[in-house]
């Protein structure tokens, strides 16, 4: 039996990269997982893979920036599994551009998908999390905590999520709901594309990581990032709330 046996978890953006790893990690610890994402083929592929391991999972297409779609996805979750114990708000968009290039539309786009998307999911899940004294796990970014140039809209939206996490932790403590945040650095299709595009810059990009993975890889989405999600979803973190955990290979120590 896994440490999440009997729990029902929702993962947003679980069609690839870190989100996919989080789905696998939760399922392998016994949770039933609802994989929510905009691209049905991606989330279905992940669910089909995890079912081969004997896990129970469901794919639900949903754009989390649309509250009506979120409400429908949550209703489908409860209809299928009867409750919600965990919500991992991983889904995000990432618009590139510094202050001189960034437009109001860029700012609003990342805010709508990242901040309002997280808000929509928390709001829709809240009645059920109150019943289970559940866990909310949000995702921020080193782009915000470190201040990465050229990513102003994305970094700003991700820091807003950290602020939301702190407020939620205080407001929802009366329901015994724990709310925490992860700043991850994990291998993903985006990272692989970056390595392919800038092979001469890889060593420079990896400077500051105290922990490195073979073949110029970053953290493993399932074991390195998903493992932290499992910890925050489990009884082992029951005395933690309002915190930001850095699963970034030690890079945060350099800023």
Catalytic residues: 154
Distance of CA 21 to the CA centre of its chain: 10
* Tokens coding 170: 């205080």
């Amino acid at each position: 039996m896994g440490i999440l046996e009997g729990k029902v978890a929702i993962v947003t953006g679980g069609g690839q990269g870190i989100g996919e790893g989080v789905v696998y990690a939760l399922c392998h610890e016994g949770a039933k997982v609802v994989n929510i994402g905009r691209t049905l083929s991606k989330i279905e592929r992940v669910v089909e893979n995890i079912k081969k391991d004997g896990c129970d999972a469901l794919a639900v297409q949903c754009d989390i920036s649309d509250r009506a779609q979120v409400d429908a996805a949550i209703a489908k979750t409860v209809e299928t599994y009867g409750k919600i114990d965990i919500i991992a708000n991983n889904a995000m968009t990432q618009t590139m551009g510094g202050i001189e290039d960034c437009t109001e539309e860029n700012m609003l786009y990342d805010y709508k998908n990242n901040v309002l998307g997280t808000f929509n999911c928390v709001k829709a899940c809240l009645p059920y999390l109150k019943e289970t004294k559940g866990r909310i796990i949000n995702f921020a970014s080193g782009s915000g905590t470190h201040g990465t140039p050229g990513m102003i809209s994305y970094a700003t939206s991700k820091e807003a999520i950290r602020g939301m996490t702190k407020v939620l932790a205080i407001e929802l403590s009366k329901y015994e709901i724990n709310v925490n945040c992860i700043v991850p650095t994990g291998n993903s299709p985006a990272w692989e594309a970056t390595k392919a595009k800038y092979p001469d810059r890889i060593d420079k990009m990896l400077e500051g990581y105290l922990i490195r993975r073979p073949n110029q890889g970053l953290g493993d989405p399932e074991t390195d990032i998903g493992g932290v999600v499992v910890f925050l979803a489990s009884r082992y973190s029951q005395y933690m709330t309002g915190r930001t955990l850095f699963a970034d290979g030690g890079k945060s120590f350099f800023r």
